[in-house]
Structure 1
Amino acid sequence: MKPIHNRKYLEDRRKALRKDLTSAEATLWNHLKQKQLEGRKFRRQHSILDYIVDFYCPKEKLVIELDGGYHLRFEQQLKDYERDEVLKSLGFTIFRIENKFVFEDLDYVLNGIKTCFKNE
């Protein structure tokens, strides 16, 4: 069976996305990197199957997606829904939130992420 994480053919795309984070992704990354959020390790622009997710926490099988205006388009919402359903079927938890909340209420976003953590 082919591995589902970080498939080689997506490597260049993942690297390009890491170099060109949106301002919301960069802001959130500053609070997720180096295990700052309750000791959880996060990866940015991580691929699962043929999808590249914004952030991924392996310990929690948690995918975090930040959505800008592009994601408000109906066609994109359908794609996002289908993608989320595929990832959920593989046991991943999806936390999807609009970019604006990263800037308007970062504590709300971080607390929302924490609620996805399994109790230890």
Structure 2
Amino acid sequence: MIIKYNPKLKELARELRRNATKSEVRLWQKLKRDQMHGYDFHRQKPIDEYIVDFFCNRLRLAIEVDGYSHEILEVWERDVKKNNRLNELGIQVLRFSDAQVLKDMDNVLRVIEEYIFQFEANGNTPPSIPPS
């Protein structure tokens, strides 16, 4: 499926890739080059009016890694709006904190794998994820 995006976001996405956080770099090391069960992930992918940290089109899955700023009410409200819009587009969102990625990578990867296993068990239909 072709996903449309605001072309003005392309340069910002490049900038975000160049200035990735430590947790984004670590998770990317586990997702790149089809390492996650052969699924192709992209980083800092523009979708609609947003940029998601990681995205797999085939899985219809966005993965977000949230730093401490996401605990601020205004940022949290934007995250909810972003999640809702992505869900409207048929994209599920998994969110992890920086701390989870840096200190508990095994469980982060297990959650992503569980999504993949459910996707495959559902005949390549994205499983629904309870709101976080």
Normalising TM by the smaller chain, what interval?
over 0.9
CA distance in structure 1 between the aligned counterparts of 2:25 and 2:16, rounded to whole angstroms: 11
Conserved 8 A contact 1:6-1:46: no
User: Counterpart in 2 of 1:101?
Assistant: 100
Following TM superposition, by how much is the alpha carbon of 1:9 offset from its aligned partner in structure 2, in angstroms? 1.6
CA distance in structure 1 between the aligned counterparts of 2:68 and 2:101, rounded to whole angstroms: 14
Gaps of 5+ in 2: 122-132
1:5 partner amino acid: K
Conserved 8 A contact 1:24-1:99: yes
Please report the TM-score for the alignment, with normalisation by the length of structure 2.
0.85
CA distance in structure 2 between the aligned counterparts of 1:110 and 1:102, rounded to whole angstroms: 9
Identical counterparts, % of pairs: 34
| SS of aligned partner of 1:115 | helix
Q: Could you list the runs of 4 or more consecutive aligned residues of structure 1 that deviate by over 2 angstroms after TM superposition?
A: 3-8
1:82 partner amino acid: K
| SS of aligned partner of 1:116 | helix
User: Counterpart in 2 of 1:25?
Assistant: 24
* Partner deviation per Cα, 1:10-56 (whole Å, 9 max, x = no partner): 11111111111000000000010000011110000001101000000
User: Counterpart in 1 of 2:60?
Assistant: 61
CA distance in structure 2 between the aligned counterparts of 1:106 and 1:6, rounded to whole angstroms: 30
Structure 2 residue 86 is the aligned partner of structure 1 residue 87: yes
Q: How many residues align?
A: 118
Conserved 8 A contact 1:42-1:56: yes
1:92 partner amino acid: I
* Partner deviation per Cα, 1:29-88 (whole Å, 9 max, x = no partner): 001000001111000000110100000011101000001100001111111001101110
